[in-house]
Structure 1
Amino acid sequence: MRIVSFNANGIRSAASKGFYDWLAKHKADVVCLQETKAQEHQLGDALFRPKGFHSYYRDATSKKGYSGVAIYSKKEPDQVLTALGWPDFDEEGRYIEARYGNLSVVSMYFPSGSSGDERQAFKFKCIDWITPIFDAWLKSGRDYVICGDWNIVHTRKDIRNWSSNQKTSGCLPAERAWLDTLFLERGWVDSYRSLKPEAEDYTWWSNRGQAYANNVGWRIDYQVITPSLRERLKSCEILRDPRFSDHAPYTVDYAT
């Protein structure tokens, strides 16, 4: 089973750069998109319902043309969920979940705090609110794959300029400490780090300067899995080229 997570930074923009041509050749079973930046009624072109996939979107309702997540699935899910119960989060179009038997695949776009103190405060509020939800998922007995842009690096290996970003949203000590609790205490598994414990690859590059050309990046896109799926991890790849967005697609192959 191949699952792809990709922050499109505007699905129509990614489409214009060849994303759907690439997708047709990539043999994905489930594709989790974030930051679609569109309302579903704006995606009437058949391109946005890729052939061979069932397509599901969760748009932002609080601010049109903002955020938004989607799932494309070769197999029709048993159920699709689009809300976690907190309107401040749900209405920004940040969560969609497809269920297949005992497996849940989630596309999640976690808030960024880079625009200022107010959004950083919201990000921390989201962390406090969603942690018990993650705990409940762990205790549920279901297998979970949480795909998405988490907007947080975890360790020094996940960011090129570690020292200079200690006061930057996405690399704040308190944010990284939260990932410590998820991965080191609660038992969630970072699929990439499990498969490549020493690698230093990135999934996002700033559009400023020559960040992409010089590979000055951050690894903020994840597939976080329940411990039950660790033994099913086969391989993973961050697909830096071709470039459809300021993020790279992240692919994981799981044994079935």
Structure 2
Amino acid sequence: MRIISLHVNGLQQAVEKGLYTWLQSAQADVVAIQGLLAKEYQLPDSVVYPDGYNAYFFDAEADNYSGVAILTREVPKAIMTGLAFPQCDMQGRFIQADFDHVSVGSILFPAVDEHNTLEDKLAFQKSFLEHLNKTRRKRREFIFCGNFEAAHKTVDLADWQSHQDTPGFLPEERAWFDQMFGPAGYVDAFREANFGENQFTWWPDAESARRNQHGWRKDYQICTPGIRQFVVEAKLDTNLRFGDHAAVMVEYEFDED
């Protein structure tokens, strides 16, 4: 199963720039998309019905804000939206597709902006970690893909010394990752197969920062520990120009039943 996660900063403009054409060549089984910046009913059919995929959307209540989607080759057993806390559900931040033995979610964490304070972001982290702990008790595997709006380790951020007081790399945000990858038991799927440096997924000043590798790794695929052994390849496509994020591409080779 090839899974791609991508934050697009506006789905319609990304499609107009060739997103769906690129997906045909990328041959993903599941695509987790964040940052729709539009409600489903506002999008043209060419965006809502991509060739070769079943598309599912979860909108924010506010206009031109947030929103997530998941595209699947195989029709899922079920689609779930929201995580039962208002900050997630009102802002359109989570959608999940359930297959026979694995569920794949697309998640968009809040940034510190005009809609959310740092306290709001930390509250979201706390609520999502509670959800992760609950999913560990279920008899299936999970993969959560998306923009976590933070970098975990110093290797995940260029010039990290200058950003220790910057939202996205604050000690309390990084400690949350330690909890997720520690006591909660989740796995950074990308790092299971890719140990390279300068593996950045977002650049604050897109073109010059990309050239100079002044980026952050904000986009992750995390999974339950039972999936760790099935991660065989992980890479980024940093050449895309659908937004200011790279595509995170992870290949999972599950056993055939």
Shorter-chain TM-score tier = over 0.9
The Cα shift of 1:102 comes to 2.5
Q: Which amino acid aligns with 1:134?
A: L
Query: Aligned with 2:27: secondary structure?
Result: coil
Corresponding residue of 1:152: 150
The Cα shift of 1:64 comes to 1.3
Mapped pair 1:72 → 2:71: yes
Tell me, in whole angstroms, the C-alpha distance in 2 between the residues paired with 1:50 and 1:118.
32
Query: Aligned with 1:217: secondary structure?
Result: coil
Mapped pair 1:20 → 2:20: yes
Q: 1:229 aligns with which of 221, 227, 230?
A: 227
Q: Alpha carbons of 1:92 and 1:210: their partners in 2 closer, same or farther (altered >3 Å)? A: same
Q: Which moved more, 1:117-126 or 1:131-140?
A: 117-126
Query: Aligned with 1:182: secondary structure?
Result: helix
Corresponding residue of 1:164: 162
Q: How do 1:1-256 and structure 2 match up within 5 A?
A: 1-61=1-61, 63-113=62-112, 115=113, 119-207=117-205, 210-256=208-254
Q: Which moved more, 1:210-219 or 1:90-99?
A: 210-219
User: Could you tell me the TM-score, scaled by structure 2's length?
Assistant: 0.94
Query: Aligned with 1:67: secondary structure?
Result: coil
After superposition, give the CA deviation of every residue in 1:44-71 in whole Å (9 maximum; x if it has no partner). Answer: 232432111111000101x111000000
After superposition, give the CA deviation of every residue in 1:186-212 in whole Å (9 maximum; x if it has no partner). Answer: 210001112123533100001368212
Query: Aligned with 1:212: secondary structure?
Result: helix
Query: Aligned with 2:182: secondary structure?
Result: helix
- The answer as to whether partners of 2:59 and 2:92 remain within 8 angstroms in 1 is yes
The Cα shift of 1:118 comes to 5.2
Q: Which moved more, 1:8-17 or 1:144-153?
A: 8-17
Tell me, in whole angstroms, the C-alpha distance in 2 between the residues paired with 1:127 and 1:60.
18
The Cα shift of 1:137 comes to 0.7
Q: Which amino acid aligns with 1:15?
A: V
Q: Which moved more, 1:207-216 or 1:150-159?
A: 207-216
Q: Alpha carbons of 1:131 and 1:158: their partners in 2 closer, same or farther (altered >3 Å)? A: same
Q: Alpha carbons of 1:132 and 1:213: their partners in 2 closer, same or farther (altered >3 Å)? A: same
- The answer as to whether partners of 2:206 and 2:244 remain within 8 angstroms in 1 is no
- The answer as to whether partners of 2:194 and 2:235 remain within 8 angstroms in 1 is no
Tell me, in whole angstroms, the C-alpha distance in 2 between the residues paired with 1:165 and 1:102.
40
Tell me, in whole angstroms, the C-alpha distance in 2 between the residues paired with 1:101 and 1:210.
44
After superposition, give the CA deviation of every residue in 1:137-171 in whole Å (9 maximum; x if it has no partner). Answer: 11212200000000110101100110000011110
- The answer as to whether partners of 2:110 and 2:116 remain within 8 angstroms in 1 is no
Q: Which amino acid aligns with 2:231?
A: L
Tell me, in whole angstroms, the C-alpha distance in 2 between the residues paired with 1:5 and 1:208.
19
Q: Alpha carbons of 1:116 and 1:87: their partners in 2 closer, same or farther (altered >3 Å)? A: closer
The Cα shift of 1:117 comes to 10
Query: Aligned with 2:208: secondary structure?
Result: coil
Query: Aligned with 1:253: secondary structure?
Result: strand
Query: Aligned with 2:52: secondary structure?
Result: coil
Following TM superposition, where does structure 1 have runs of at least 4 consecutive aligned residues deviating by more than 4 angstroms? none
Aligned length: 254
Name the % identity.
36
Structure 1, unaligned runs of 5 or more: none
Tell me, in whole angstroms, the C-alpha distance in 1 between the residues paired with 2:134 and 2:196.
31
The Cα shift of 1:87 comes to 2.0
Q: Alpha carbons of 1:49 and 1:207: their partners in 2 closer, same or farther (altered >3 Å)? A: farther
Structure 2, unaligned runs of 5 or more: none
